[in-house]
Amino acid sequence: MINESIDGFLHPNVRNSADQIFVNGKQWLLSWLTAAPGWVAQIVSSLINIFALLAVFLTLFALMSVLERKILGRMQNRYGPNRVGPFGLLQPVADGIKMLIKEDIVPARADKIVHFVAPVLIAAVAILALGVIPFGRNMTPFTIDGGILFFFAVGSATELAVFMAGWASNNKFSMLGAMRAIAQMFSYELPLIITVLPVVMVVGSLTPDRIVAAQGEYTLGVVPRWFVFTPWGAAAFILFFVSGLVESNRTPFDVPEGESEIVAGHMTEYSGFKYATFFMAEYLGMFAVSGLAVTLFLGGWHAPARVLELIPSYVWFFAKLSALLFVYIWLRGTLPRARIDQMMNLAWKFMLPMAFACIIAAAVWHYAGRGLRGWLWSLFVIALVYTALSILLDTRRKFAPRVYRFAE
Amino acid sequence: MSSAAFVIIAILTLAAALAAATLQKLMHATLSFALALVGVAALFFLLGAEFVGLVLIFVYIGAVAVLIVFTILLTRRDAGKDRSLNWSGALLAIAVFGGLTWAILKTQSVAIAAPHVRAVTVKRIGEALMSGYVWPLECVGLLLTAALIGALVLVMEEKR
């Protein structure tokens, strides 16, 4: 639970600082329940965690939806939303009210129950996945031995939810869109999971708290020992981030949705608040994947330098998370979308071998002593595989008439 | 508390399993089957075998359920149509249930109190896989690689 420290020891200065203000607040709330039986306190403790998680991330979702439009507007040389409230900050409230009072249309031939369950499931899954990420010192909503595995196990239900949405709508576009989305998620789940393995190997644990703790030291007090600063970690981080882009259906990999081909994919037959739920689940999934990237490669809630540890840990976590989310928006404003065959080629021919190379490079780094020598050797492994793959996959063909292939 | 949880989870699992066996639409049956598997995973969680529960969800919900769904979609034109009661299937189910019940009642090991074991952590499972069970692990790996290559060969384009 939230009050268990991973090293079992907290300096009194830390315990009373702003760093632990939320943990202490929870303790204070629970102290009202000392007379109640143990299971009541346990349930209330979980409820507090759940409430905090939902409050923080739904607020972040609202903020992100308006900031994304503002930043995209900035990149495209226009204002973006600026009418509702100061700087357009109340835009999500207006959007929410609009979505709530819209008519909820369910197609006559749709499978009513499955049509209803799909958006619920997809949102629930995204929230569950967020639960295992350490947001600050002693601030993991749900501590579990195999937290990383939990993240992916729960996340794998997304595919089923997408399929349910596509099938229950009883619409060709929905079904085709769902198929596309599932094909894409399956292909990129492999590099996504395999790039986590080097970190798990090096730390020797599947628990997110231990992975964060393993990145807590500093070389010379300035350079943090985050895994992203090792060659294998940098490569794995980039692969993980790209796979995360695909998993959350973001540009340049947003093919499950395409107005000119398959309308809105599996969400075609959803309107009103159900559509908003899908939208929310997509963003929550994005937060979850980015949060895991921060946990695995960017040192979790650790400060980038020893002196900066004065600033509370959760501030650092959310700063890193925001930086990653900004990159998501930035990419959306910059890149055109990829074709589905380009995406599949990238996943199977480049990302997967690179992900395996990361595992080998991490092993090399470990056995060469985790120092400078290991750093150079693992850089050598990564560079070697990268060069070999670039030569092998060089598809700069000569110009030729375009060949179309159709399903037979 | 844990016995109450057990009863709730067991009822949900059994209800989902019953729904999987009796629902008219094949797709509904598949989804109920997935729900029943979630219930089984929850039982593993309750027993403290988190890893097994997680792998169960991972493999069965994430892969097998989707695979079944795709198989239904790709092979049957009447995926949404009704299905009638399958008598041979029911007989088979009753036979398996009877056999299992007989075996469980017959065995002595239920009466023996389980020895106290340390909580099975992921680390211990990993160590066991890499030391005592390394050969079975390698064999499974080889088999899966062969299956993967086989699938690729099956779907590979024929060069003209």
For the segment B26-37, what is each residue's pLDDT rounded down to a tens digit? 888 888 988 899
pLDDT of residue A381: 87
Q: What are the respective helix, strand and coil percentages of chain B, to the nearest 5?
A: 75, 0, 25
Question: What residues of chain B lie within 8 A of the CB of A164, using their CB?
Answer: 31
Nearest Cα residue in chain A from B74:
A179
Q: What percent of chain B has pLDDT over 70?
A: 81
Question: What residues of chain B lie within 8 A of the CB of A201, using their CB?
Answer: none
Minimal Cβ distance to B66: which of A114, A182, A204: A182
Question: What residues of chain A lie within 8 A of the CB of B65, using their CB?
Answer: 160
Arithmetic mean of pLDDT, A306-329: 86
pLDDT category at A293 given cuts 50, 70, 90 is: very high
Domain chopping of chain B, boundaries:
1-81, 120-160
Rounded CA separation B133/A269 (Å) = 50
Inter-helix orientation angle A147-155/A112-130, to 10°: 160
Residue with tokens 């306190």: A41
Contact A133, A140 (CB under 8 A): yes
Mutation for testing the A interface, residue in B2, B26, B27, B31 having most A CBs under 10 Å: B31
Q: Is A9 left (phi over 0), alpha (psi -120 to 50) or beta?
A: beta
8 Å CB contact of B58 and A114:
no
pLDDT of residue B95: 94
The answer on pLDDT for A4 being more than 60 is no
Could you tell me which CATH class the domain B1-81 is placed in? mainly alpha
The answer on pLDDT for A5 being more than 50 is no
Arithmetic mean of pLDDT, B49-53: 82
Arithmetic mean of pLDDT, A340-345: 82
Chain A contact present for B27, CB below 8 A? yes
Minimal Cβ distance to B122: which of A39, A114, A146: A146
pLDDT of residue A241: 92
The answer on pLDDT for A268 being more than 90 is no
Arithmetic mean of pLDDT, A47-52: 87
- Return the structure tokens found at B148: 């993967």
The answer on pLDDT for B146 being more than 90 is yes
The answer on pLDDT for A1 being more than 50 is no
3-state secondary structure of A326: helix
Chain B contact present for A121, CB below 8 A? no
pLDDT category at B159 given cuts 50, 70, 90 is: low
8 Å CB contact of A160 and B34:
yes
Minimal Cβ distance to B50: which of A145, A152, A164: A145
A252: cis peptide before it, omega within 30°? yes
- Kindly report, residue by residue over A57-90, the tens digit of the pLDDT: 989 998 898 888 888 888 888 888 888 878 888 8
Listed residue (A47, A302, A51, A288) closest to A150, CA to CA: A288
Chain B contact present for A160, CB below 8 A? yes
pLDDT of residue A14: 59
pLDDT category at A292 given cuts 50, 70, 90 is: very high
The residue among B13 and B122 whose pLDDT is bigger is: B13
Rounded CA separation A325/A317 (Å) = 12
Cα-based torsion angle of the residue sequence B149, A235, A207, B37 in order, rounded to the nearest 10 degrees: -30
The answer on pLDDT for B94 being more than 70 is yes
Residues pairing with B31 in the sheet? none
Mean of the per-residue pLDDT values for chain A? 83
What is the interface pTM, i.e. ipTM, of the complex? 0.76
Arithmetic mean of pLDDT, A343-348: 84
pLDDT of residue B120: 65
Rounded CA separation B12/A350 (Å) = 44
Q: What percent of chain A has pLDDT over 90?
A: 9
Arithmetic mean of pLDDT, B97-114: 78
User: For residue A261, how far is the Cα from the chain centroid?
Assistant: 27
State phi, psi for A309 to the nearest 5 degrees. Answer: -70, -10
Chain B contact present for A154, CB below 8 A? yes
8 Å CB contact of B61 and A157:
yes
Nearest Cα residue in chain B from A200:
B123
pLDDT category at A380 given cuts 50, 70, 90 is: confident
Residues 6+ apart with CB under 8 A from A139: A2, A22, A23, A301, A313, A314
Contact A283, A64 (CB under 8 A): yes
